[in-house]
Structure 1
Amino acid sequence: MKIDLTDTTASKVNKALVRGRRAIGTPTVGMVLTLVIVTDEENAYDALKAASEASREHPSRTLVVIKRISRSPRDRAKARLDAEVRVGADAGTGGETVVLRLYGEVVDHAQSVVLPLLLPDAPVVVWWPVNAPVDPAHDPLGALAQRRVTDTYAAEHPVRELAARAAAYTPGDTDLAWTRITPWRSMLAAALDQVDCDVTSVEVAGEEFNPSGELLAMWLADRLQVPVRRIRSKGPGLTAVRMETTCGPIVLDRADGSLATLSIQGQPKRAVALKRRDTAELIAEELRRLDPDDTYASALRFGVENLSAATAAEHAAGDSASGGTGTEGAARGQADGKSAAAKKAAAK
């Protein structure tokens, strides 16, 4: 069922939701959270499609907030709220969807519109597919949520955006650029479980300015406390990780964006599925956990500048002593003598 409301209020939207549920006989008890999507008109369709697919796993009330900002002073003075209420099949799943278009002064008070529409006693997740605020936790809409999802890949300067995310990090913040590397982190941790060696250095290859590549490199440097170098490749996305160990190299190579090859010294090569996932899968993964991601926070705070400092130190040394895998004293990327077992535990 679909109900269109023009120049309406949050109270009328709530009444339309109740009317729609009664018309199709659908209660709200099956919904587990409220997902608020803050986007523009151009990206609203793709974001709503991804959220609809993710809600098959996480039935939710989805509120799409579209801020219609006009450059004309005359139009900006016209405060108005338009809404589309979709319940049942028209929502794509058994949940509910409300598309809110804000005009004029209402744009600056989006939280006042959204607050009455949140499911009672249910977690709130806010997702910015594009144009995320610098400090999501202190954004008026972000302040309503337990989890705040951004995507630095959509930023104009993705790697620079990571530094801003680190400076403003609040427990509950997360990034789809981090979610994209979950399979990589799992695969690398599993590979380390198969050997009894010390990791001495790491190389991470991927597209330039790819925030997922930077986050993976920061995670490895932070957890293993070894030199980590970022290497540019043509992509797509992340293409390879090479870990030098005292027992020989461990290489996870994905040249085509779908199938990867895992090579461990002394073992046969293995093909592993490591496809690039779509946005719906990424959002579904983030909705599985609503507690703060301490591992992400630690990797983020390690800082891109530490990787840059380590790489600069290696180039300054001419790579003569280590064959290009790192130099001693390179920021926090310096090896600290941890045992292999400790490093494996940290990587997990």
Structure 2
Amino acid sequence: MKIDLTDTTASKINKALVQGRREIGSPTVGMVLTLVIVTDEENAYDAIKAAADASREHPSRTLVVIKRHARSPRDRHEARLDAEVRVGSDAGAGETVLLRLRGELTERADSVVLPLLLPDAPVVVWWPVDAPPVPAKDPLGALAQRRITDAYAVESPLRELATRAVGYTPGDTDLSWTRLTPWRSMLAAALDQARAEVISAVVESEAENPSTELLARWFADKLKVPVEMVVTDGPVITAVRLRTTEGEIHIDRPEGPVARLAIPGQPSRVLALKVRTTAELIAEELRRLDPDEIYAAALQASVMAPTPAEAVEVTKAVE
């Protein structure tokens, strides 16, 4: 069910939500959080779809804040709010409100969002593309327990990652880190089995991939070893190699949803390692609302480059 509201207010939107729930017989007690998505028209469709899919695991009220640019000087001073309320099958397992802000209202989006938050429920803010330099100091970010950004979605991912490191506040996270969860789980399990000292690491991936940088920083923080980053055709991360005193542990995923894991002294095995959808990434992030201290440590770690001799050895091994 969809209800369109033109030149409206937060009070009228709340009334439309109550009306929609009554008509479809849907209560609010099952919703566990409010997800605020801050985006533009171009990226709104994909973000809403991902949120709707994730809501099947985390029923939520999704508020989509779309700031529209003024077309004339007069428009800049004319505050206006249009809304579209979605409940039932049109909103996944929760309810969705699209908030289109114009004029001066774009600078006071928090005043529109605040009355629409679920009472006594956590708030998560997600910027699918362009996020503020310090999300916690943004008026909308200040309302949230968790703030989600995505360095992979911007024009200069590594520069964006540097900005995230400088402006980090507990509660921040980035989908570039979330994409690493299967890799980190497999590598940690492999190291538990190998029981060998790691000497150096190699990460192979497409160029300018922020997940690669974060994985290298995680190695630097946890293993205290030099890390070599090798550029491949991708997609995304294609291989990780850990040189140990007992031999090389490596995971290869050149393409497709499966990877091959090799551990010294054991037969190689095939593992599922697909590139996950945005909905799956958001669903993972909504499972925890406490600060991610491991992400914070990796984000602010420095990668130690291998010596020239180690770099040559790594290059020969890759070739």
TM-score (norm 1): 0.88
Cα distance, 1:320 vs. partner? 6.7
Q: Which residue of 2 aligns with 1:339?
A: none
Q: Does 1:253 align with 2:234?
A: no
- Check 1:159–1:90 CA distance in 2 against 1; reply closer, same or farther (3 A cut): same
Q: Which residue of 1 aligns with 2:266?
A: 267
Secondary structure, in 3 states, of the residue corresponding to 2:125? Answer: strand
Report if the CA contact (8 A) 2:194-2:264 is conserved.
Answer: no
Q: Which residue of 2 aligns with 1:323?
A: 313
- Check 1:7–1:32 CA distance in 2 against 1; reply closer, same or farther (3 A cut): same
Report if the CA contact (8 A) 2:201-2:225 is conserved.
Answer: yes
Q: Which residue of 1 aligns with 2:14?
A: 14
Report if the CA contact (8 A) 2:202-2:314 is conserved.
Answer: no
Secondary structure, in 3 states, of the residue corresponding to 2:56? Answer: coil
Q: Which residue of 2 aligns with 1:162?
A: 161
| Partner Cα separation in structure 2 for residue 71 and residue 269 of structure 1 | 60
Cα distance, 1:220 vs. partner? 1.0
Matches within 5 A, 1:1-348: 1-93=1-93, 95-303=94-302, 306-307=303-304, 310-311=305-306, 314=307, 318-319=308-309, 323-324=313-314
> What RMSD over aligned residues (CA atoms) do the two structures have, in Å?
1.4
| Partner Cα separation in structure 2 for residue 249 and residue 28 of structure 1 | 53
| Partner Cα separation in structure 1 for residue 54 and residue 234 of structure 2 | 27
Secondary structure, in 3 states, of the residue corresponding to 1:194? Answer: helix
Deviates more, 1:17-26 or 1:110-119: 17-26
Cα distance, 1:289 vs. partner? 0.4
Secondary structure, in 3 states, of the residue corresponding to 1:323? Answer: helix
Report if the CA contact (8 A) 1:236-1:257 is conserved.
Answer: no
Could you report, residue by residue, the CA deviation over 1:290-333 in whole angstroms, capped at 9, with x for unpaired residues?
Answer: 00000000000004xx34xx25xx2xxx31798348xxxxxxxx
| Partner Cα separation in structure 1 for residue 138 and residue 311 of structure 2 | 49
| Partner Cα separation in structure 1 for residue 101 and residue 56 of structure 2 | 28
| Partner Cα separation in structure 2 for residue 155 and residue 300 of structure 1 | 17
- Check 1:260–1:321 CA distance in 2 against 1; reply closer, same or farther (3 A cut): closer
Percentage of pairs with the same residue: 71
Cα distance, 1:90 vs. partner? 2.2
Report if the CA contact (8 A) 2:3-2:84 is conserved.
Answer: yes
| Partner Cα separation in structure 1 for residue 224 and residue 13 of structure 2 | 53
Deviates more, 1:151-160 or 1:28-37: 151-160
| Partner Cα separation in structure 2 for residue 240 and residue 321 of structure 1 | 16
| Unaligned residue ranges in structure 1 (runs of 5+) | 326-348
| Unaligned residue ranges in structure 2 (runs of 5+) | none
Cα distance, 1:25 vs. partner? 1.7
| Partner Cα separation in structure 2 for residue 203 and residue 29 of structure 1 | 48
Aligned residues: 315
Question: What is the letter of the counterpart of residue 281 of structure 1?
Answer: E
Report if the CA contact (8 A) 1:34-1:62 is conserved.
Answer: yes
Cα distance, 1:267 vs. partner? 1.1
| Partner Cα separation in structure 2 for residue 57 and residue 207 of structure 1 | 32
Report if the CA contact (8 A) 2:39-2:66 is conserved.
Answer: yes
| Partner Cα separation in structure 1 for residue 309 and residue 300 of structure 2 | 27
| Partner Cα separation in structure 2 for residue 322 and residue 155 of structure 1 | 33
Secondary structure, in 3 states, of the residue corresponding to 2:299? Answer: helix
Secondary structure, in 3 states, of the residue corresponding to 1:193? Answer: helix
TM-score (norm 2): 0.96
Cα distance, 1:75 vs. partner? 2.1
Secondary structure, in 3 states, of the residue corresponding to 2:66? Answer: strand
Runs of 4+ in 1 over 3 A off after TM superposition: none
